[in-house]
A and B are shown apart, each in its own frame.
Chain A
Amino acid sequence: MYGFEALTFNIHGGYLEAIVRGHRAGLLTTADYNNLCQCENLDDIKMHLSATKYGSYLQNEPSPLHTTTIVEKCTLKLVDDYKHMLCQATEPMSTFLEYIRYGHMIDNVVLIVTGTLHERDVQELIEKCHPLGMFDSIATLAVAQNMRELYRLVLVDTPLAPYFSECLTSEDLDDMNIEIMRNTLYKAYLEDFYKFCQKLGGATAEIMSDLLAFEADRRAVNITINSIGTELTREDRKKLYSNFGFLYPYGHEELAICEDIDQVRGVMEKYPPYQAIFSKMSYGESQMLDKAFYEEEVRRLCLAFEQQFHYAVFFAYMRLREQEIRNLMWISECVAQNQKSRIHDSVVYMF
């Protein structure tokens, strides 16, 4: 019952919630980012990071460092935190935590399939996969020729199996179809996650609905903008939008017929939460849109921590860590390539 979760949540979830809030306290603050932006080379970055929670992961790396090493080790910390929480969780929290991984699984599947299409080596691709999205038999994806084989050989045993029902065609895999497959899978995953959270009820349902609705709307806008000028028909585009969120259903109908960015802006400005995002950008500019969306997402994720006794803090922590790793990657790349003037273009500050 909403409002009375405090009475029973701590039986199974109290310890893990306290742990995840402890992890949240270890996220990098604006002061840390300022220090990192002052660094001259990657060894300086390693020195600054050794004072944070990443210290134990980076200390054994020999110099010269590469940016990929930094990102890999930081991701390893995220994976360790996640696995520690997952092995301590009971139902339904363990199912909730598993759901957080499926997005990464979808990304990995698409990565391997695309890479195989472009004649890359399977081992090289597997090393690039996100560790949270790994599953057994992922290497077999390289063998599949079309989607039906993909499903039958590999994916039927994974948790992604129920998301494939809309995707099963015998068409060969090419770039366009793979993107459509990615978006269809992600749509099914978001809807499934949304239904699961609604079933949990209470504060979890309310906060996760807000976060997932924002995710769905953001993907709808990105799909629209990326498919302007491609062969994707309006009907196909509309099929890729999720069945929930602020923009459902009227915003989706308007977005489906958009042909350039200014029309998208016109649609989005009718919705007050998104009007603030679009008003930050001047006309004709779309490269700031990603950063504006990230900033809005981080703001909402931080708000999830304001309430106690719900599961959305786990989701929020994972997303905030991923954003932090993106920030670190950007900073490391700018420092390594000596382009420090562009550092502030893409770093999203959290606290």
Chain B
Amino acid sequence: LSCIRGRVVFNSPIVFRSQALNNLSSYGERDKGNRSERERMSGMVDASSWGAALVRISPYTFSAIGIAISIGVSVLGAAWGIYITGSSLIGAAIEAPRITSKNLISVIFCEAVAIYGVIVAIILQTKLESVPSSKMYDAESLRAGYAIFASGIIVGFANLVCGLCVGIIGSSCALSDAQNSTLFVKILVIEIFGSALGLFGVIVGIIMSAQATWPTK
């Protein structure tokens, strides 16, 4: 009877929800072995079907995407910042060649943002471990997967805006230095504060990645 009910149940999610509630009350002590799965699914039964679909995504997917975002979006931010600074620097250096060597610091600050992304990506990929497929959807596995994903997003987007910030300030720095060389150091201080944003992202990202503990075998 339960099998027939089970087959009918999986046709529609709404039926699944209400029928599963009935199933719980009628099964009682009988299927102890599947208790953990049913317990887990009972918690998810109240969630929408989207919630149920999300927790069925492998935690490795989330981890991989997190690592990809960490390096990909950081490099996007660094590249964006470098071209903003570089185009202004080249043009300004035609009339004032003395500014070139000092203003390469702005480009170096942008580059540091990409390096942060690479470092965190390497750290994150060492956190990946294999778990047996019976435990793949345990709460702890999911937590590890989400931790790596979150770490990747944190680092990626913090570095994106940091790269943009440093790039725009670097462009203004080059143009101001060309007009009045006493302004360079003052604007550099602004840039240093801007580059601290990327550092915040890296720190929090690394702290998050320490949460990535997979269930032991």
Interface residues of A (CB under 8 A from B): 6-7, 10-11, 14-19, 21-23, 25-26, 308
Chain B minimum-CB-distance residue to A12: B87
B170-196: which residues lie under 8 A (CB-CB) from chain A?
171-172, 174-175, 178-179
Main secondary structure of the interface of B (DSSP, over half): helix
Query: Which of A7, A11, A18, A26 counts the most B-chain CB atoms under 10 A from its CB?
Result: A18
Report B42 CB to chain A, min CB distance, Å.
48
Interface size on B, residues (CB 8 A): 20
B96 at interface by CB-CB < 8 Å: yes
B31 at interface by CB-CB < 8 Å: no
B91 at interface by CB-CB < 8 Å: yes
Q: Which 9 A-B pairs have the closest CB atoms?
A: A18-B91, A22-B95, A14-B87, A18-B92, A15-B91, A19-B91, A6-B168, A10-B87, A18-B88
Report A310 CB to chain B, min CB distance, Å.
13
A-B contact count (CB 8 A): 62
Q: Which residues of the other chain, A, contact B45 by a CB distance below 8 angstroms? A: none
User: A21 touching B171 by the CB < 8 A rule?
Assistant: no
Our pick among B164, B168, B175 for the contact of A18 (Cβ within 8 Å) is: B175
Our pick among A7, A10, A21 for the contact of B92 (Cβ within 8 Å) is: A21
B131 at interface by CB-CB < 8 Å: no
New contact pairs (13) apart from A14-B87, A25-B96, CB-CB < 8 Å:
A10-B87, A14-B91, A15-B91, A17-B91, A18-B88, A19-B94, A21-B92, A22-B92, A22-B94, A22-B178, A25-B95, A25-B178, A308-B175
A-B pairs with beta carbons under 8 Å apart, 26 shown: A6-B84, A6-B168, A7-B164, A10-B83, A11-B83, A11-B87, A14-B87, A15-B87, A15-B90, A17-B88, A17-B91, A17-B175, A18-B87, A18-B91, A18-B94, A19-B94, A19-B95, A21-B91, A21-B92, A21-B178, A21-B179, A22-B94, A22-B95, A23-B95, A25-B95, A308-B175
Main secondary structure of the interface of A (DSSP, over half): helix
Chain A minimum-CB-distance residue to B169: A6
User: B96 touching A14 by the CB < 8 A rule?
Assistant: no
User: A25 touching B91 by the CB < 8 A rule?
Assistant: no
Q: Which residues of the other chain, B, contact A23 by a CB distance below 8 angstroms? A: 95
B154 at interface by CB-CB < 8 Å: no
Q: Known contacts A6-B168, A21-B178; decide if A14 and B95 are in contact (CB<8 Å).
A: no
Our pick among A10, A25, A26 for the contact of B88 (Cβ within 8 Å) is: A10
B89 at interface by CB-CB < 8 Å: yes
Chain A minimum-CB-distance residue to B89: A18
Assembled-state Cα–Cα distance A300/B202 (Å): 45
Chain B minimum-CB-distance residue to A24: B179
Q: Which residues of the other chain, B, contact A14 by a CB distance below 8 angstroms? A: 83-84, 87-88, 91, 171
Assembled-state Cα–Cα distance A16/B87 (Å): 9
User: A16 touching B91 by the CB < 8 A rule?
Assistant: yes
